[in-house]
Amino acid sequence: MIRTGCASMIRMPLAQRCSVLNRTFASAAAAQNSEGHFLLILGKPGGGKGTISGKILKDFPMFRHLSTGDVLRQHVMNGTDIGLQAKEYMDSGELVPDSLMIRIVMEDTNAAMKSGDSLLLDGFPRTKEQAVALDKELDVDLVINLCVPTETIVERISDRWIHSPSGRVYSYSYKPPKVKGKDDITGEDLVQRDDDRPECVRNRLMRYDEVTSPLVDYYDAKGVLKTFHGTMSDKIYPEVNTWLDEKLQ
């Protein structure tokens, strides 16, 4: 999902969101030609990518946020062809095939890229093939790598509740909703993600180690990556903030 900072976006039909997504990519790429930035956030499943992204968006409102997991869950919720194809992979903790992911994310980015904001990409790329496809379109200039211990992640995921339409994330121990079981903004029900079952989480963590973790070296070699270690997003985030502040000067 792209968070535009505009609550009405959440209620947009998928087609309209896709059009915003297209414009976002076009504008982000063009922004690079001027002062814009292309920021990725890497990290294990449940490692706090969405949580840290939310904090970045508050402090650096020039970024638009695109979480491929949220986009896929929207497709599943809306019963689109993409959603039907993606669901079986997601529910078993497997990665959705590269061809489909690259199509979802890149399909419309070849369009002329004129002007716009910077982009924060959460959950893409997740394979070398996706990274190479992205490189063909854009120069990634900033990569945040969140390094959180696996024990911490397993605990947190069992306590995660989400508002499906928006992707907003809650946890009773860390960020409880104002009213138990209800989204703070819409009052709608919170649910647990289908892929947060323990056996699925184990598989997602394994896939991360095998397939996604090599991207850390890939971006490190390009000199654009910074790793942040820790167990608490509230402790990690001030360091992220300082680093971004320096880079965005």
Residue 116 in the binding site for ligand AP5 (CB under 6 A)? no
Residue 25 in the binding site for ligand AP5 (CB under 6 A)? no
C-alpha distance across the termini of the chain, in Å: 27
Asked whether residue 126 is marked as a ligand-binding residue, the answer is yes
Contact 82, 97 (CB under 8 A): no
Residue 95 in the binding site for ligand AP5 (CB under 6 A)? yes
Asked whether residue 207 is marked as a ligand-binding residue, the answer is no
Position 108, amino acid: D
Torsion of CA 63, 74, 48, 196, to 10 degrees: 180
Select from 51, 74, 109, 118 the one that contacts ligand AP5 (CB under 6 A): 51
| 27 touches, from Mg ion, ligand AP5, none (C-beta below 5 to 8 Å by class) | none
Asked whether residue 125 is marked as a ligand-binding residue, the answer is yes
Asked whether residue 182 is marked as a ligand-binding residue, the answer is no
Please say which residue, 26 or 169, places its beta carbon nearer to Mg ion: 169
Select from 36, 50, 93, 116 the one that contacts Mg ion (CB under 5 A): 50
Q: Which helix (H) or strand (E) holds 135?
A: helix 128-137
Instruction: Provide the 8-state DSSP code for 148.
Output: -
Residue 177 in the binding site for ligand AP5 (CB under 6 A)? no
Residues annotated as catalytic are: 49, 126, 160, 193, 204
Stretch touching ligand AP5 by CB under 6 A, among 5-13, 177-185, 219-227, 230-238: 230-238
We find the least distance from the C-beta atom of residue 60 to ligand AP5, in angstroms, to be 17
| 145 touches, from Mg ion, ligand AP5, none (C-beta below 5 to 8 Å by class) | none
Asked whether residue 3 is marked as a ligand-binding residue, the answer is no
Q: Please write down the long-range contacts of 168-172, taking CB distance under 8 Å and 24 or more positions apart.
A: 169/50, 169/51, 169/54
Q: Which helix (H) or strand (E) holds 75?
A: helix 68-78
Asked whether residue 93 is marked as a ligand-binding residue, the answer is no
For the chain, give the number of residues: 249
Look at residues 55, 36, 67, 93 and name the one whose alpha carbon lies nearest to residue 248. 36
**At 198, is the secondary structure helix, strand, or coil?**
helix
Select from 36, 83, 116, 123 the one that contacts ligand AP5 (CB under 6 A): 123
We find the least distance from the C-beta atom of residue 101 to ligand AP5, in angstroms, to be 4
Known binding site for AMP: residues?
68, 73, 94-96, 123-126, 130, 193, 204
Known binding site: residues?
46-51, 68, 73, 94-96, 123-126, 130, 160, 169-170, 193, 204, 233
Instruction: Give the footprint of ligand AP5 on this chain (CB under 6 A).
Output: 43, 45-51, 67-69, 72, 89-90, 93-96, 101, 123-124, 126, 130, 156, 159-160, 169, 171, 173-175, 195, 204, 232-234
